[in-house]
């Protein structure tokens, strides 16, 4: 009954027209994958980044979210915001900024938290992958 009204129009827009839905090959060395879940509701979000290894800039991003409208909208916003940004900047995006942008009600704050966690997890995965590749390269020398 209050379902429709509870969602702000920006949420509906991102839900109806989510940006950057899709996935990259997680074995691509320039791709970082963040897979996170919300214990509160069981929703799952996968966010992936493609990084320019020379500059550390996120050149592309995509996501797949199994979850509520706010979680889908949050991942859509997150993917838009991180594209073209250096990883070091993207990592400091706050769930409160996403929540504010979408005017999420308090009960939906954990949905935007999922997006913040997913960004951090994707960057962490990318860095771990590069570090591992670096170790392997120096070992084979
Ligand atoms: Fe999580 Fe809607 S899918 S509450
Ligand atoms: Fe759980 Fe939105 S209700 S992510």
Task: Kindly report, residue by residue over 127-139, the tens digit of the pLDDT.
Answer: 999 998 888 777 7
Q: Would you say residue 140 lies in a domain? A: no
Q: Would you say residue 85 lies in a domain? A: yes
ipTM, two decimals, is 0.66
Instruction: Give the whole-angstrom CA distance, residue 108 versus residue 69.
Output: 10
Q: Would you say residue 37 lies in a domain? A: yes
Q: The CATH number of the domain where 117 resides is what?
A: 3.90.1010.10
Q: Would you say residue 139 lies in a domain? A: no
Cβ-contact 121, 48 below 8 angstroms? no
Instruction: Output the pLDDT for position 39.
Output: 81
Instruction: Output the pLDDT for position 5.
Output: 52
Task: Check residues 5 and 105 and name the one with the higher pLDDT.
Answer: 105
- With pLDDT > 70 as the criterion, what percentage of the chain qualifies? 94
Q: Which of 33, 89, 22, 104 is nearest to 56 (CA)?
A: 89
Across the chain, mean pLDDT equals 91
> What is the end-to-end Cα distance of the chain in Å, rounded?
65
Query: In the chain, how many domains are there?
Result: 1
Which H or E run includes 65?
strand 58-66
Q: Would you say residue 41 lies in a domain? A: yes
Q: Would you say residue 39 lies in a domain? A: yes
Q: How far does the centroid of ligand 2 lie from the alpha carbon of residue 140, in Å? A: 45
Structural domain boundaries, residue 95: 3-131
3-state secondary structure of 50: strand
pLDDT band at 24 (very low <50, low <70, confident <90, very high): very high
Instruction: Give the whole-angstrom CA distance, residue 61 versus residue 77.
Output: 11
Q: Would you say residue 138 lies in a domain? A: no
Asked if residue 121 has its Cβ within 6 Å of ligand 2, the reply is no
Q: Which atom of ligand 2 is nearest to the CA of 110?
A: 4
Mean per-residue pLDDT, 26-54? 94
Q: Would you say residue 141 lies in a domain? A: no
Q: Which ligand is nearest to the CA of 118?
A: 2
Instruction: Output the pLDDT for position 6.
Output: 57
Residues linked to residue 31 through DSSP beta bridges, in sequence order: 50
Mean per-residue pLDDT, 6-26? 87
Q: Is the pLDDT of residue 1 over 60?
A: no
């Amino acid at each position: 009954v209050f379902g429709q009204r509870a969602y702000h129009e920006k949420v509906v827009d991102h839900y109806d027209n989510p940006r950057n839905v899709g996935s990259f090959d997680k074995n691509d060395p320039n791709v970082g994958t963040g897979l996170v879940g919300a214990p509160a509701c069981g929703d799952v979000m996968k966010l992936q980044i493609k990084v320019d290894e020379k500059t550390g800039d996120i050149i592309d991003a995509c996501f797949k979210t199994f979850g509520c409208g706010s979680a889908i909208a949050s991942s859509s916003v997150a993917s838009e915001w991180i594209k073209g940004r250096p990883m070091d900047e993207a990592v400091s995006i706050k769930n409160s900024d996403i929540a504010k942008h979408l005017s999420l009600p308090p009960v939906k704050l954990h949905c935007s938290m999922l997006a913040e966690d997913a960004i951090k997890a994707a960057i962490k995965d990318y860095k771990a992958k590069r570090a591992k590749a670096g170790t392997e390269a120096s070992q084979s020398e």
